[in-house]
Structure 1
Amino acid sequence: MASRSFTEEDLSCPVCCDIFINPVLLSCSHSFCSSCIQRVWENKTSFKECPVCRKTSSNDCPPVNLALKNLCESFQHERGQKSSSEGETVCSVHNEKLKLFCLDDQQPVCLVCRDSRKHTNHRFCPVDEAIADKKEILKASLESLQEELRISVNREQNLCKTAEEIKFHAQSTETQIKEEFEELHQFLHDEEASRITALREEEEKRSQMMKEKIEETIKQISSFTITIRDIEEQMKAEDVSFLQNFKATLQRDQYIPESDPSPSVAITFTDHLTNLKVNVLQKMQDNVGEREKTEIFI
């Protein structure tokens, strides 16, 4: 609101004649753009003086004129809003149409900017030519980006395909592993059943042998018992009948079969456990080798 009471001339730098940019305040109360006063003072080695009143400045780095800076920014903001509402792109400093492009500063400028000190010895071209040139640059950049996009899309598709193939082959390998172990489990199960069957058959054979020996021993016990009882009865006789029957009794004792004091059948089944794991592993290896040979021939 305060900027409405000032004109563009009031807010222009005495050096560059443009709206102040970062204005600084000298001790003599004159203000200049910070870059402008520094450019004026570049060749001043002994003392720094004001370009307007020629008074020597007491400060090589003058302070920023905040009040003037705020006024300039407010003025440019209001003029920019006005230009935008009118639908025209104009210079924010001189409110003129931007017809030229400064090749040194790489920005569009108006005819007044071209003649200002700020753009002294700068190169210019029409805005239309600058737009065409910049569009060619962007076109080349766009084509490069589009090519990179195409390559990236193809790469993404190939990566996705590879990821699916990895998943497929992993699942297929898992299935094969399960099948291989299922065969191993079945082999071990069959081998276990076979060995247990052999153990049961041997157990039955030994048990039958023991049964026969027990029956034979029971018969011997019965025979011994009867013979002992008869001898005891004969020994009770006190008359001549003892002597008459003595020879027959003695011969009867001699015909009793002798018993086997120690069974010949082994009690344990260590043969079924000897090198069990080694034998089974060897048999498993031979079985796998035969199966692989068969698959090769097939």
Structure 2
Amino acid sequence: MERRQSLEEQLRCPVCLDVFTEPLMLQCGHSYCRCCVRSMTMDLLGQLQCPVCRCAVDGDSPPPNVCLARVIEALQEVSVAGGAQLEMCRQHHNPLSLYCEDERTVICGLCGSIGTHRGHKITPVSSIYSHMKEDISCLMTEFQHQKRRLEDQICKMAHNKSRIT
């Protein structure tokens, strides 16, 4: 079990932090989910900067990482066959499948209906996970925009410095 978790950690996209979906490999050798590559900002020449190594690479058509996709598929088959183990509530011994938005914690169904979280705003974990992924994507886009603005300002300052000297 511990080895599988360690392997899963290695198979996570550095952008969305989820296990790769439709992995693509950039020229620098780093892989990302297809949707994460598409969300990266390309310059006018079709180049993008790898988030891991910062190399400028061709972003127009990175090839699929077929080997990585097969490893992930095999891992998922093992998880399904082995019955992926969910975390359990310590009090009720039920799977933690709900999210209490009031206290920002994962809970079981009994905690939400008859336990300490009764009356709180409760949402399925899968919905919260999707919303959080979207939020991270928006934050990454905003971060990239702010980074570009900062780089532009640095270039202007360097130009002004050289002009002054």
> What's the TM-score, normalizing by structure 1?
0.29
> Partner of 1:109 in structure 2?
126
1:99 equivalent in alignment to 2:116? no
Higher RCO structure (Cα 8 Å, ≥6 apart): 2
The alpha carbon displacement at 1:29 in A equals 0.3
> Partner of 1:73 in structure 2?
73
The structure richer in helix per residue is: 1
Aligned counterpart for 1:120 among listed residues 135, 158, 162: 135
Pairing of 1:82-93 with structure 2 (within 5 A): 82-83=82-83
Q: What is the distance in 2 between the residues matched to 1:89 and 1:13?
A: 23
The alpha carbon displacement at 1:83 in A equals 2.8
Q: Secondary structure at the match of 2:56?
A: coil
Q: Which has more radius of gyration?
A: 1
Instruction: Give unpaired runs (5+ residues) of structure 2.
Output: 89-94, 100-123, 138-165
The alpha carbon displacement at 1:110 in A equals 7.7
The alpha carbon displacement at 1:8 in A equals 1.2
Q: What is the distance in 1 between the residues matched to 2:96 and 2:57?
A: 38
Q: What is the distance in 2 between the residues matched to 1:121 and 1:4?
A: 26
Conserved? CA contact 1:83–1:89, under 8 Å: no
> Partner of 2:62 in structure 1?
62
After superposition, the Cα gap between the structure-2 partners of 1:20 and 1:121, relative to the gap in structure 1 and judged at 3 Å, is: closer
Conserved? CA contact 2:16–2:136, under 8 Å: no
The alpha carbon displacement at 1:97 in A equals 4.2
- Aligned-pair RMSD on alpha carbons? 3.6
Conserved? CA contact 1:21–1:34, under 8 Å: yes
> Partner of 2:50 in structure 1?
50
Pairing of 1:1-298 with structure 2 (within 5 A): 7-41=7-41, 44-46=43-45, 47-83=47-83, 97-99=96-98, 109=126, 113=129, 116=132, 118-120=133-135
After superposition, the Cα gap between the structure-2 partners of 1:56 and 1:9, relative to the gap in structure 1 and judged at 3 Å, is: same
The alpha carbon displacement at 1:26 in A equals 0.5
Conserved? CA contact 1:98–1:110, under 8 Å: no
After superposition, the Cα gap between the structure-2 partners of 1:19 and 1:38, relative to the gap in structure 1 and judged at 3 Å, is: same
Q: Secondary structure at the match of 1:12?
A: coil
After superposition, the Cα gap between the structure-2 partners of 1:76 and 1:97, relative to the gap in structure 1 and judged at 3 Å, is: farther
Instruction: Give unpaired runs (5+ residues) of structure 1.
Output: 91-95, 101-106, 123-298
Q: What is the distance in 2 between the residues matched to 1:56 and 1:20?
A: 22
After superposition, the Cα gap between the structure-2 partners of 1:20 and 1:89, relative to the gap in structure 1 and judged at 3 Å, is: same
The aligned amino acid for 2:61 is C
After the TM superposition, which parts of structure 1 deviate over 2 Å for at least 4 consecutive aligned residues? 3-6, 43-47, 80-84, 96-100, 113-116
Deviation string, structure 1 residues 105-149 (Cα, Å, up to 9, x no partner): xx96186x3685x23279xxxxxxxxxxxxxxxxxxxxxxxxxxx
> What's the TM-score, normalizing by structure 2?
0.50
After superposition, the Cα gap between the structure-2 partners of 1:13 and 1:35, relative to the gap in structure 1 and judged at 3 Å, is: same
Q: Secondary structure at the match of 2:16?
A: coil
The alpha carbon displacement at 1:73 in A equals 1.5
The alpha carbon displacement at 1:6 in A equals 5.8
Q: Secondary structure at the match of 1:27?
A: coil
Conserved? CA contact 1:25–1:64, under 8 Å: yes
Residue-pair matches, total: 104
